[in-house]
Amino acid sequence: MNCNHFADRAKGLWRGNAAAFVFSALHVLWLVACAASLVALPRTGTAQQPQRLTLVAWEHEDGPDLRKCVGLLEEFSRRHPHLNIDMTHDDWASAYPRISRWSGSLKEHAPDMTVIPDEWLAQFAPNLCTFGTGIGRYLEPFIPAVLDPITIDGRIHGVPWRVDSYALYYRPDLLPEGRKAPTTWDELLATAAAISDPEQGVYGLGLPGAVNGGGARTLLTFLWGAGGSFYNEEGTINFTSAQMTDALEYWVRLARAGALQPEVLSWDAAQLQEAFAERKLGMIIAGSAFARRLNNQHGALNFAVAPLPCRDQPVASISATYVVIMRTTQHRAECMEFLKFLASRGAQDCMRQTGSVPSHREVISQGRGEPLMHAFVANLEHAHARPKRDWKNLEAMLDDALFLALGGRCLPAKALATVQERYDRAAASAPPQ
């Protein structure tokens, strides 16, 4: 066999391997092209990942367990399979600084939704989504007082989350024999005076008088129970109405009758609640959350609750928090679906079961049948909420009026006239909004 034979055979082997290589390469390219075409085709029948919406809520250490809201969020996702609510919790102490930053330097880190209390709504309103009649019809079953704080300049800014209502807490074992819980101002004074026994360190009624201690809010409750309003006919703040004067004079009467705790101006609401738990006070006015704290911290304490005593008309005083949508969200329409769901009867009933006072009329009727909840829902149709604008300043003014009147520095009418003059002067010099 010569060299030419080997050369011819080598050429044949090369041609065969080359052909096989080309075929394999073409086959690989065809597979890649097929895969690319499959990626490009729409995936009909494949489950789409739900859109994730973020909600930041806040809780107190001894407050309601927000984990009980998990069922509410799961039900929303069941009805809206394309949406998931990712709710995180943080302490209330972090709420104001966080929301301030989300409204300012850290807007890009803001969640889609958060929870805001009534007293902050007006301040943060420019950074919140607003709604008109589109969501208004979902809120029709709610009592007016719970909707007033979220209605600013005719626009709605959120949906009720949790509601707290105030009632009269009393120790049945301290009531004089044969007496029931007082329902009027006169009965309240008489009962408180009868309970007071300074020698035993027991006093009839606890009212807060310390600065920022809750007295301003409680004084407004007496104003509303006298049939008064914090606004005049022009819609401006009025400290000097006849009903406000009567309410402050009544506090002075209670103090002079020995019906209140000593040194009223040094007590805040938290101190009064502790004194009540220790059986040093026969009665106090507090929110529904206080009942939960009493049960959690003091076990089987002997206490009861009754609707707020009034002079001229039934009264209820409420505070509330609301779920709001941050203006920076990229998912406004999806968040709106959650707000509509939250406004439903079923969702509000779920919130009632977490301890929130119901403000949806159909759910209120259920609360009336519960022994403890009855006092908090009894007069909700006559409920009032604190002013939604400039509350901190108004609170300071009312605290000053309490200081002047309860401290004996001037008569109640003069004390109120003094703070009215200061308020009007400050309002006149304030820049237009």
Q: What is the pLDDT of residue 37?
A: 34
Check whether residue 403 and residue 272 sit in a common domain. Answer: yes
Question: Which amino acid, residue 393?
Answer: N
Distances (CA, A) of 362 to 44, 46, 163, 181, 336: 43, 41, 15, 28, 22
Distance separating the N- and C-terminal Cα atoms of the chain: 108
The answer to which of 186-190, 208-212, 296-300 has the lowest mean pLDDT is 296-300
pTM of the model: 0.84
To the nearest whole percent, how much of the chain has pLDDT over 70?
87
Q: What is the pLDDT of residue 132?
A: 79
- What is the residue-averaged pLDDT of the chain? 87
Q: What is the pLDDT of residue 433?
A: 56
Q: What is the pLDDT of residue 71?
A: 86
Check whether residue 177 and residue 283 sit in a common domain. Answer: yes
The answer as to whether 198 is a domain residue is: yes
Distance CA 84, CA 62 (A): 28
- Backbone phi, psi, residue 392, to 5°: -60, -40
202 forms beta bridges with 197
Question: What is the C-alpha radius of gyration for the chain, rounded to an integer number of angstroms?
Answer: 32
The answer as to whether 242 is a domain residue is: yes
The answer as to whether 310 is a domain residue is: no
In the predicted structure, residue 405 carries a pLDDT above the cut 80: yes
Domain range spanning residue 408?
172-302+390-429
Check whether residue 228 and residue 94 sit in a common domain. Answer: no
* 65 vs 224, higher pLDDT: 224
The answer as to whether 395 is a domain residue is: yes
Q: What is the pLDDT of residue 13?
A: 38
Distance CA 93, CA 91 (A): 5
Per residue in 18-49, pLDDT tens?
444 333 443 433 333 333 333 333 343 345 78
Token pair for 19: 């052909």
SS3 at position 168? strand
Check whether residue 88 and residue 229 sit in a common domain. Answer: no
The answer to which of 29-33, 82-86, 327-331 has the lowest mean pLDDT is 29-33
Check whether residue 133 and residue 154 sit in a common domain. Answer: yes
CATH of the domain at 270: 3.40.190.10
Check whether residue 178 and residue 263 sit in a common domain. Answer: yes
**Residue matched to tokens 């908090």:** 376
Q: What b-and-e string marks burial along 7-40, b requiring 16 or more CB atoms within 10 Å of the CB?
A: eeeeeeeeeeeeeeeeeeeeeeeeeeeeeeeeee
Per residue in 256-297, pLDDT tens?
999 999 999 999 999 999 999 999 999 999 999 898 888 777
Average pLDDT over residues 368-397: 91
Distance CA 282, CA 204 (A): 5
Check whether residue 337 and residue 407 sit in a common domain. Answer: no
284 forms beta bridges with 169, 206
In the predicted structure, residue 371 carries a pLDDT above the cut 80: no
The answer to which of 45-54, 336-345, 388-397 has the lowest mean pLDDT is 45-54
The answer to which of 8-12, 177-181, 285-289, 428-432 has the lowest mean pLDDT is 8-12
The answer as to whether 116 is a domain residue is: yes
Per residue in 149-170, pLDDT tens?
999 988 999 999 999 999 999 9
The answer to which of 231-235, 338-342, 398-402 has the lowest mean pLDDT is 231-235
The answer as to whether 10 is a domain residue is: no
Check whether residue 324 and residue 395 sit in a common domain. Answer: no
Check whether residue 140 and residue 281 sit in a common domain. Answer: no
Q: How confident is residue 430, by pLDDT bands cut at 50, 70 and 90?
A: confident
Q: How confident is residue 86, by pLDDT bands cut at 50, 70 and 90?
A: very high
Q: How confident is residue 62, by pLDDT bands cut at 50, 70 and 90?
A: low
Q: What is the pLDDT of residue 16?
A: 43
Check whether residue 324 and residue 206 sit in a common domain. Answer: no
Check whether residue 260 and residue 335 sit in a common domain. Answer: no
Check whether residue 141 and residue 176 sit in a common domain. Answer: no
Distance CA 428, CA 11 (A): 105
The answer as to whether 349 is a domain residue is: yes
In the predicted structure, residue 386 carries a pLDDT above the cut 70: yes
Token pair for 138: 């979902």
Number of domains making up the chain = 2
Per residue in 168-207, pLDDT tens?
999 999 998 888 999 999 999 999 999 999 999 999 999 9
Per residue in 91-102, pLDDT tens?
999 999 999 999
In the predicted structure, residue 77 carries a pLDDT above the cut 60: yes
Token pair for 141: 């079953």
The answer as to whether 335 is a domain residue is: yes
